[in-house]
Amino acid sequence: MSSNNNNNRNTDSNTLIENETDAQSKNDGVTSKSTELAPCTGCTGLDRPDEPMNMNQNDEEDVDDVATKLIMEDPGYHRDLLKDLLNVMRLVDDAHVQTLLGMIRADCAIEEVKLFVEKTLKDVQDAGRDGETVKRLQDMRMRVRIESGEPPFRPQVMDIHYLCDVAPYKVPARPWTTVTDDDALVSHLISLYFTWDYPFYAFVDMRAFVQHMRDGNTNSDLCSPFLVNAMLANACHYSQYSEAYAIPGDVKTKGSDFLAEAERHMHSYQLERGRSVRLASLQATLLLYERYSMSGDDDLGYTMLHRAIEMAESLGVINGPDLDLDKLQMSEEMRSSIQRTAWGLFQVDTVVHTNFRKPSKIHRVCVKRIDRDESQPSEQWVPYPTGRAPRPSFLSQYFDEACRLSFIARDISHHLYQEPRPDTTQHERKKEFYNKLQEWEAQLPDFFDPAGKPPAHILLLRMRYHAIMISLSRDGFGVHTFFSEEEGKSQTTVPPSSQLPAHLRDKATEQSLASARAIASLVRVHREEYGIGRTHPFTTYAIMVALFTMLDHASFDILDSDFLALTSAFSVIACRSQVGRNLFHIFRQSVRAQDQEARVQESDQVPEEIKELFGRYPRSLKPDKWDYYEDGLDKDVAAADGMRMKNYAASGLSLGQDSQDRR
């Protein structure tokens, strides 16, 4: 993480492609009247028409409108820039075209593109290529330099992307972290976390945390340097700023400086035992689980989850007798924080173990759930920083429904992976769970309907429901069955599903396919409303489950619109993390095994980006950017033709084989 301050932050926040939803923002115009300002150097350098800004010191709310108006003045600018870039790279060679396309899909910062163009120019000059190629590369280098906002520090006039970037949660950097003293950067990251990551599990009391962070009391039980740095490390996953990287452009280093500081604090908190465990330490440990899992270090991540469960048990909030918090002397915010942490941990446990094919470790939660109607209709969820309109958060209603779904997931995990039931058939027991799941979905409130464009976390909840449906309908993913000869004897006495009547197997297969298509529909809504680049990592898991369900279907068609939509979304998400890249490589190997790629190239209906994704060249000659990440698959020893999902953690992040500790 580069050192930052308010006057010296890189302008790398300019991104190659604006968020898919930004172009749909509406400009309400600027109505304030005061001093007329001359056009900024950025507009002048880009030959944009003069657009003097009428600003009033008291009209900060108009900054967003001004920024949006300037962006919308020339909506084709970035498209033309990208088109010209691609044309120039085609003059170089196909490998450079593939690399640039990968950067476009990853929505890389303009600074990364600038470095790529400069390196390409140097390589071409060293190779003694013709003058026309060199000249066009030099022209592109100048255009990209202008767009990147050089010199490499924030100019006195902020770039337009930064003007749009008004963080909803303003918090200080100090005294919480030594990585940066830039309050704007920390506010940006905390806002990203509470927008895209937090709602899915919601194991922190957001109001209490933000208030205690603003107060600056490092001895607080609800906010600590350990918790803040762990949260910032996770939040970097959602940021496009270069400051989120220790090494700009290297996704493996996203948030690594904040992570290193969190780990240093973790060692000082390891002496906390029993009732002396701080709630903030438990929450930070849960965040480290998520962080390590996102990095592909699933064994260490699972260790953190185990530790968090042990800490919660020592506090008496799970796997014990009922605990009446009302009888204890504590503040209301502490009571609320304990409830959220206990039930949030329960959700993490059921999500993870269902997909690790292990029984959930949390049998019961000892404290009451939060009030289902705690969230008022006036409470808004702001899809920061997309510029899309806020909408009711329904966060407490979501939390309550997620807990109800977790009860079903817990029971499914215990039945499938722990409790032998010789007195019943597998189909009958599965049908009971199937009916419970359907009943849960039928009872969802109307405002959870995807047609109403609800907040992202509600879309994810429905994806989670369908992912559970798929795991219930099938005996496993690909060749790794729940009831294989090797695993079945130790986990259940029920015969493998292959011994079920054909009509039951067919019904289960069609149910899983229907859920896969439902996930595709939800991903479309998410992408249309909020983009897909900042989605919660669980989306990666849901997409993988849906894609492999479709791949394994007897009538798989590579031109299936749902399959192509999921593939396109997956390619965007995968570029944002190392484990995502590894997963996408596995997926591509599985698609190749179907031997239908030629149909993609021959189709007039398939978008160009999908054709580029599956390649236009013979496999032996094709410069494949995804193959560069094959080294990251050292844990996946299965051959490509039999490769399928392994013990993939439900935050969408685990590829490794079973840890020895997963018992």
Mean confidence (pLDDT) of the chain: 75
Helical H runs in 239-331? Answer: 256-269, 279-294, 298-314
- pLDDT of the residue at 621: 38
Reported as type and span, the H/E element at residue 580 is helix 578-594
* Residues 66, 460: Cα–Cα separation, whole Å: 33
* Residues 444, 333: Cα–Cα separation, whole Å: 28
- Give 507-513's long-range contacts (Cβ < 8 A, gap of 24+): 508/473, 508/474, 509/473, 509/474, 509/553, 511/434, 511/469, 511/473, 512/469, 512/470, 512/473, 512/474, 512/549, 513/549, 513/550, 513/553
pTM listed for this prediction: 0.72
- pLDDT of the residue at 489: 37
- Give 442-448's long-range contacts (Cβ < 8 A, gap of 24+): 444/401, 445/394, 445/397, 447/392, 447/394, 447/397, 448/394, 448/397, 448/398, 448/401
Cβ-contact 544, 516 below 8 angstroms: no
Q: Are strands 380-381 and 476-477 parallel, antiparallel or unpaired?
A: unpaired
The arithmetic mean of pLDDT across residues 615-627, rounded, is 44
pLDDT at 407 over 90: yes
The arithmetic mean of pLDDT across residues 480-498, rounded, is 38
| Sequence spans of domains, the chain | 167-356
Cβ-contact 540, 652 below 8 angstroms: yes
pLDDT at 120 over 70: yes
CB neighbours of residue 222 within 10 Å: 22
* 96: confidence class by pLDDT, cuts 50, 70, 90: confident
The arithmetic mean of pLDDT across residues 205-210, rounded, is 97
Q: Which two three-digit tokens encode residue 492?
A: 């259940």
Phi-psi sector, 309: left (phi>0), alpha (psi -120 to 50), beta: alpha
pLDDT per residue over 417-469, tens digit each? 775 555 456 667 788 899 999 999 999 999 999 999 999 999 999 999 999 99
Helical H runs in 270-394? Answer: 279-294, 298-314, 332-356
* Residues 583, 563: Cα–Cα separation, whole Å: 16
Helical H runs in 385-455? Answer: 395-417, 426-442
